[in-house]
């Protein structure tokens, strides 16, 4: 038996760098007033939809199906919401428009999704504020799709730009919750569980560890034993209590952050972006519900302004690092 009569020895075949030629315009069936472009084999055609539909039942079916799908996609994408309830519709549209390369509708859908899974820290703040009720309780799962659904959809549709914020969102859950997966509320059949791929499970846990270390480093470098500002108004105060007031404030802030590492106070465990911002906010809050520092603990204005700058810089740096921490490649851009 010669080797060309069978592909049983496919692994031994010589490989050629074969680039298929692009389709070219058909010499006859290209009408400038045609209203549908088709590709078949090595030719593309611009023809009249009505004529080919009347003369070929299979072509009529194919054309009508494609047109009705795209029309539905176009209508739906303009009115669709991107909350948890609408996620199945959003996911179907994204899959459909990706499969049929309908770029303009696909971009509309991704633009809508990126309000919840944004590329910028400022957009992330809006998203987080929208998920916080007037009493300060944070309930993202009530309004946003679960991040495991979004990560799996983004992988399936090659939409990498949604991944960094989705991975960060997921990394705030307990490790056991991340590994177990997500079951849609009301569904009891565990075979319906949405789980991450092995690679993405590792990416999430690795990124979670990076984020946690970033918070520890922030506490050590920016809070513990922080020097007061050169312009501290209490620097030369004769009263020993007031002279140490700003330092004592940063020590109390450190204690509050460490106390909340397990989410005891705000039920937001493993959320360094929030914890770092909260280190700043807790020094200015005065309401009894959220005022975690005693009114005795208030740094002077120059010290607080310097600390706010450190907080802003740390949070921007952290946001910038998310793709690397979670092993994400293929982004169109990232701040």
What is the contact surface with Zn ion in residues (CB under 5 A)? 228, 232, 246, 300, 303
Enumerate long-range contacts of 239-246, CB under 8 Å, 24 or more apart.
Answer: 245/296, 245/297, 245/298, 245/299, 245/300, 246/299, 246/300, 246/303
Q: Based on CB atoms, which residue is closest to Zn ion, 149 or 228?
A: 228
Q: Where are the beta strands (DSSP E) in the chain?
A: 24-30, 36-40, 43-47
CB of 206 to Zn ion, least distance (A): 39
DSSP, collapsed to helix, strand or coil, labels residue 241 as helix
Q: Based on CB atoms, which residue is closest to Zn ion, 142 or 296?
A: 296
CB of 287 to Zn ion, least distance (A): 23
Rg (C-alpha) for the chain, rounded Å, is 28
* DSSP percent split of the chain into helix, strand, coil, nearest 5: 55, 5, 40
Q: Based on CB atoms, which residue is closest to Zn ion, 146 or 297?
A: 297
CB of 294 to Zn ion, least distance (A): 17
CB of 101 to Zn ion, least distance (A): 59
Nearest-CA neighbor of 148 among 204, 186, 76, 187? 204
Q: Based on CB atoms, which residue is closest to Zn ion, 79 or 240?
A: 240
CA angle 45, 38, 59 (to 5 degrees): 115
CA angle 210, 216, 218 (to 5 degrees): 100
CB 318 within 8 A of CB 164: no
Q: Based on CB atoms, which residue is closest to Zn ion, 182 or 250?
A: 250
CB 298 within 8 A of CB 233: no
CB of 258 to Zn ion, least distance (A): 22
CB of 231 to Zn ion, least distance (A): 8
CB of 335 to Zn ion, least distance (A): 32
Q: Based on CB atoms, which residue is closest to Zn ion, 150 or 303?
A: 303
Q: Based on CB atoms, which residue is closest to Zn ion, 154 or 228?
A: 228
CB 82 within 8 A of CB 90: yes
CB 269 within 8 A of CB 261: yes
């Amino acid at each position: 038996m010669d080797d060309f009569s069978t592909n049983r020895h496919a692994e031994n075949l010589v490989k050629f760098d074969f680039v298929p030629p692009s389709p070219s315009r058909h010499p006859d069936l290209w009408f400038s007033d045609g209203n549908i472009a088709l590709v078949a084999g090595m030719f593309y055609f611009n023809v009249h939809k009505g004529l080919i539909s009347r003369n070929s039942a299979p072509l009529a079916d194919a054309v009508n199906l494609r047109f009705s799908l795209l029309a539905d996609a176009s209508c739906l994408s303009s009115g669709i919401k991107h909350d948890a309830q609408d996620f199945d519709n959003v996911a179907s549209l994204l899959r459909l428009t990706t499969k049929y390369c309908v770029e303009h509708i696909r971009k509309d859908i991704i633009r809508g999704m990126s309000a919840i899974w944004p590329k910028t820290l400022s957009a992330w703040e809006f998203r987080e504020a929208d998920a916080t009720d007037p009493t300060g309780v944070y309930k993202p799962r009530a309004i946003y799709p679960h991040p495991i659904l979004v990560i799996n959809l983004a992988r399936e549709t090659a939409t990498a730009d949604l991944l960094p914020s989705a991975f960060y969102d997921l990394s705030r859950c307990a490790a056991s919750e991340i590994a177990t997966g997500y079951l849609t509320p009301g569904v009891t059949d565990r075979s319906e569980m949405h789980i991450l791929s092995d690679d993405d499970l590792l990416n999430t846990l690795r990124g979670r560890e990076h984020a946690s270390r970033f918070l520890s480093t922030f506490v050590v470098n920016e809070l513990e034993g922080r020097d007061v500002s050169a312009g501290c108004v209490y620097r030369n105060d004769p009263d020993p209590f007031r002279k140490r007031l700003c330092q004592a404030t940063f020590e109390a802030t450190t204690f509050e952050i460490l106390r909340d590492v397990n989410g005891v106070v705000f039920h937001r465990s493993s959320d360094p972006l929030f914890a770092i911002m909260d280190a700043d906010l807790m020094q200015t809050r005065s309401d009894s519900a959220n005022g975690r520092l005693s009114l005795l603990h208030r740094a002077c204005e120059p010290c607080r302004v310097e600390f706010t700058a450190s907080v802003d810089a740390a949070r921007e740096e952290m946001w910038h690092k998310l793709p690397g921490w979670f092993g994400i490649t293929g982004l169109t851009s990232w701040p």
